[in-house]
Amino acid sequence: MEFDSTRISNMDRRYRAHLINSLSGFRSANLIGSKSLNGEENLAVFNSVCHIGAHPPLMGFILRPLTVSRNTYDNIIESGFFTINHIHQSFIKEAHHTSAKYPESVSEFEKSGLNSHYEEGFYAPYVKESSIRIGLKFEESVLIRANDTRMIVGKVQNIHISDELLNDDGWLDLSKAGTVAISNLDTYYKAELIDRLAYARPDEKVESLLKK
């Protein structure tokens, strides 16, 4: 099946949203926790969290145009802090529920059935049910002019992970964690390990790092 620009712009709006949202491949599945200076907690599912750099440790996520109320954005800007929490298979429906449009004063923690968890000295709430939780400090809001979208960049301040997920060389076993992947906007997948591959060198065959 072939689609050119004309066909893409003439598509039914929902059909195009589904198709274009499928194109990038599998996406990360995270809950972003934040709190306003008034103390109102917010929790929202995001499928756009990405790695920006390891040193300094930076992560980002894409925020849609600020034409409607964006609690997550407002809280991050005013408080300076947020958390990223992996979504595991055991609570995908609860996580997905945080995308429902509640008034600003309502906490998605209460409505979704997920629990907030605080660490001493860190302002934003984590998700108790998540076994990979990251606390970040707001670093930069980068405007993507092509569609007035923003990439919000945070610097990792702290990491909380269940001991059994951490391998000797720092690598986390996301499959063991039950962390899910998303495709499109609404489809959740579990991941099954195929292989871990060695650093690729010119004119050498790529080898597996796993004992088979």
Please report, as residue ranges, which positions from 158 to 177 form the binding site for a copy of itself (by CB under 8 A). 158-163, 166-167, 169-172, 174-175
Cα 62 to Cα 28, 37, 100, 181, 207: the distances in Å are: 12, 23, 18, 16, 35
Question: Are residues 91 and 75 in contact, defined by beta-carbon separation less than 8 angstroms?
Answer: no
The reply on whether position 56 binds a copy of itself by CB under 8 A is yes
Question: Are residues 85 and 30 in contact, defined by beta-carbon separation less than 8 angstroms?
Answer: yes
Minimum separation from the CB atom of position 36 to a copy of itself (A): 19
Helix (H, G, I), strand (E, B) or coil at 73: helix
DSSP 19-56: HHHHTT--EE-EEEEEE-TT--EEEEEES--EEEEETT
Minimum separation from the CB atom of position 74 to a copy of itself (A): 19
Residues 125-164 as x/- pattern, contact with a copy of itself by CB under 8 A: -------x-x----xx-xxxxxx-x-x-x-xxxxxxxxx-
Q: Please, which residue, 36 or 184, has the CB nearer to a copy of itself?
A: 184
What residues does 156 pair with on adjacent strands? Answer: 136
The reply on whether position 120 binds a copy of itself by CB under 8 A is no
- Among positions 39, 67, 120, 204, the unique one binding a copy of itself when judged by CB under 8 A: 204
The reply on whether position 13 binds a copy of itself by CB under 8 A is yes
Span from 33-41, 74-82, 194-202 in contact with a copy of itself (CB under 8 A): 194-202
* Residue 17, H or E segment: helix 13-22
Residues 100-119 as x/- pattern, contact with a copy of itself by CB under 8 A: xxx--------x--------
Residue spans of alpha helices (H) in 36-169: 71-79, 92-97, 108-112
Cα 71 to Cα 16, 160, 204: the distances in Å are: 27, 25, 50
Q: Which positions from 64 through 103 interact with a copy of itself, judged by CB under 8 A? A: 64, 84, 86-87, 89, 92-94, 96-102
- Among positions 19, 40, 78, 80, the unique one binding a copy of itself when judged by CB under 8 A: 19
What is the token pair recorded at 200?
């690729």
Minimum separation from the CB atom of position 72 to a copy of itself (A): 15
The reply on whether position 36 binds a copy of itself by CB under 8 A is no
What is the token pair recorded at 201?
């060198």
Minimum separation from the CB atom of position 23 to a copy of itself (A): 6
